[in-house]
């Protein structure tokens, strides 16, 4: 083990893998939601325009 220290120094722990997966999933989700919000607003306005505003 003294001769081959690169294996010992490369240990990153079991929690780092799940942390990276969680960070990537959060990043991709935020990009998807931002894209959806940008697309949804004009679509919503078109739907309101064709339906007409319902007055109560």
Q: Does a structural domain hold residue 56?
A: no
Instruction: Give the domain extent around 25.
Output: 5-51
Q: What is the pLDDT of residues 13-50, one digit of tens each?
A: 778 888 889 999 999 999 999 999 999 988 988 888 88
1 pLDDT higher than 60: no
**pTM of the predicted model, to two decimals?**
0.57
Q: What is the number of structural domains in the chain?
A: 1
Compute the C-alpha angle 47/52/53, nearest 5°: 105
Q: Would you state the pLDDT for residue 14?
A: 78
CA distances from 5 to 1, 8, 12, 15, 32 (A): 6, 5, 14, 22, 42
């Amino acid at each position: 083990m003294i001769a081959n220290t690169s294996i010992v120094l490369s240990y990153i722990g079991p929690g780092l893998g799940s942390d990276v997966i969680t960070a990537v999933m959060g990043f991709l989700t935020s990009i998807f939601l931002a894209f959806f919000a940008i697309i949804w607003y004009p679509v919503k306005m078109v739907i309101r325009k064709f339906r007409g505003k319902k007055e109560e």
